[in-house]
Structure 1
């Protein structure tokens, strides 16, 4: 083999390695954008859930103590909780404090709404039925948004564990994303409305 043939083979191998590395870098970037997008969607759905809970509390169809507790938890979730996107939040922020606030709202809603019989009694009132339907839809959408976000995070973390991605720093300086954990089962054990 001549020197030119060896050089040509080396250039071909380097080109293939370059193509593979570029492909990995593009996949990492795409997954990071997916995580950012799903995090923004999750934030929007959590705010809608808090608004639906606040609307239910303002309707005064719950007992007075439950009304105050749900209204306070909804206010904390909608206004005082740290945002998942924007400001100083980043992908490495687990949103643990936000998860606790959202879990508190979930527990307060479960306590205020009671069991399936209590929810059925609330649904018997037409105004409350609409508010409960809105709340149930908002809770379901928040659950889905959290699952999609966590799936995107898991896929990103899995790809970033690839040795080529780590050795060649294909993720750049992007923070390692983390999942968002919270209790989101408000209507546990109750039949869903259609």
Structure 2
């Protein structure tokens, strides 16, 4: 093999390697964009769920204790998303605003550390638990559904909760795929991830309340069709 032929082979090999690196870098960039987009969708659905929960808490349809529990959890979730000051207050049960407003400015306080990664999942889990305390009881859900406003809120909450579950699943799958690519030898050796932060899954309790019908689901026997 002549020097010219050897040079051609070397150029081809180097070109192939550069192309493979470019393909891997492009794939990683697309995955990071996918994670960002999926996280934005999750955030939107979480805000929607918390907003509906706040509306339920301030609707006057729940007993005072349940209103306080759900209201606190909803405000905390909205504070974690940065939208805690936009929740409609409505006719708050006696003492609810005072309970949520610790500094007397008429606005429920933002939960310290709510926006810290990892804390968000805990805040959303607390909202899920608070809602299940109310919506695990079939009789309680039936009583809410008997009211036109309550039926609409239950339908909106079910739709938002279902979308949260789907969006979080897709987001976590995108994160897992990105993490696998980032752990590859080529990516680590050539630092193809650059300064992009390691994506994290959103871990939270989003188990469905026992008595809340899923969107499109027929109620259990003996319960009114909604």
- 1:164 is matched with 186
Q: Deviations over 1:62-103 (max 9, x none)?
A: 111001111111011112x265xxxxxxxxx98211111110
Distance in 2, matches of 1:20 and 1:151, equals: 24
- 1:90 is matched with none
Of the structure 1 ranges 2-11 and 166-175, higher mean CA displacement relative to structure 2 is found in: 166-175
User: Cα distance 1:193–1:174, how it changes in 2: closer, same or farther (>3 A)?
Assistant: closer
- Residues matched between the structures, number: 184
Deviation above 4 Å: which 4+ runs of structure 1? none
What is the Cα deviation at residue 177 of structure 1?
Answer: 0.8
- 2:45 is matched with 45
Distance in 2, matches of 1:12 and 1:189, equals: 65
Distance in 2, matches of 1:184 and 1:146, equals: 9
- List runs of 5+ in structure 1 lacking aligned partners: 84-92
- 2:209 is matched with 187
Distance in 1, matches of 2:8 and 2:125, equals: 61
- The answer on whether the counterparts of 2:53 and 2:70 sit within 8 Å (CA) in structure 1 is yes
Distance in 1, matches of 2:116 and 2:13, equals: 41
Distance in 1, matches of 2:118 and 2:176, equals: 17
- The answer on whether the counterparts of 2:121 and 2:204 sit within 8 Å (CA) in structure 1 is yes
Question: Which residue, 104, 122, 125 being the options, matches 1:103?
Answer: 125
- 1:120 is matched with 142
- The answer on whether the counterparts of 2:154 and 2:212 sit within 8 Å (CA) in structure 1 is no
- 1:65 is matched with 65
Of the structure 1 ranges 183-192 and 52-61, higher mean CA displacement relative to structure 2 is found in: 183-192
User: Cα distance 1:120–1:193, how it changes in 2: closer, same or farther (>3 A)?
Assistant: farther
Distance in 1, matches of 2:116 and 2:199, equals: 8
Where is the helix percentage greater, Structure 1 or Structure 2?
A: 1
Q: TM-score, normalised by structure 2?
A: 0.76
Q: Deviations over 1:122-146 (max 9, x none)?
A: 2122220110000111111111111
What is the Cα deviation at residue 183 of structure 1?
Answer: 0.4
What is the Cα deviation at residue 189 of structure 1?
Answer: 6.1
- List runs of 5+ in structure 2 lacking aligned partners: 83-114, 217-226
- 1:87 is matched with none
